[in-house]
Amino acid sequence: MLVTQAAPASAAVGSYVVSRQNGVTFPLLTSNNLLLGTTDDALFRLTTTLSAPNHMPFPVTVYGTRFTSMTVSSNGNIQFGVCCTTGGTTAFSNQPLPTGTFSKSALAVFWDDLFFSPDDASHFFREGIFTKTSGAAPHRTFVISWQGHAFNNEAYFVLAQAVFTEGSQTIKFRYGVSDLQGSFPPSETIGVQGPGGSAAPATQVAFNPSTPATAQGRQYTFQHVG
């Protein structure tokens, strides 16, 4: 088990313990694409009241707080408790956690400078940021899938997903490719951060890792404690 966590800001916020699994299936998604065209540094609002692809099928609890909306960044993170898409950040320069870049709770699934071209059919996957709901209430799962590449290297693929389970505070990040591809070094941040900016509780898996943090079929499971 891999455990990397900061002390919680308060007992009400709690913290996360993270474990790593390998051999997990990474399903490539092709429907419910949030992107209408080529996208760089964009934010997308998802709520329980909107329709697909911006629909959240159930509220999500992060650091002990229940959210009926989230802001998804094309740069591989999810932000909670911010207003619409104007209150979030499109920051593409990833930082170690905790960071003042996020003033509210955030999930850094693969926070890096990413780029998406939905009309590009040259890869083995369709590019975009996709959503998918599976199962029946009260046992549904909700997936957000980033399927694109690094901004400055189209041959550097990024396949990352956040998986939420209805009624559970456990969050999963799973990956479809390694973050070490050719001579292009890993340059992402992976982890979770609570409210409070640079003083927030955080559990970090990777920041510009010197050894690969992702691989085909790798998953990190974040379990809320406290």
What's the pLDDT tens digit per position in 18-38? 999 999 999 999 999 999 887
Q: Are 190 and 204 in contact (CB under 8 A)?
A: yes
Query: Residues with Cβ < 8 Å from 35, sequence gap 6 or more?
Result: 42, 74, 116, 118, 127, 128, 129
Residue 178's closest CA among 219, 213, 221? 213
Whole-model pTM: value is 0.93
pLDDT at residue number 183: 82
Look at residue 226 and tell me whether its pLDDT is greater than 90: no
Tens-digit pLDDT profile for residues 40-93: 999 999 999 999 999 999 999 999 999 999 999 999 999 999 988 788 999 999
Look at residue 12 and tell me whether its pLDDT is greater than 90: no
Residue 172's closest CA among 121, 225, 221, 208? 221
What are 122-126's contacts with CB under 8 Å, separation 24+? 123/149, 123/157, 125/28, 125/157, 125/159, 125/176, 126/28, 126/29, 126/30, 126/33
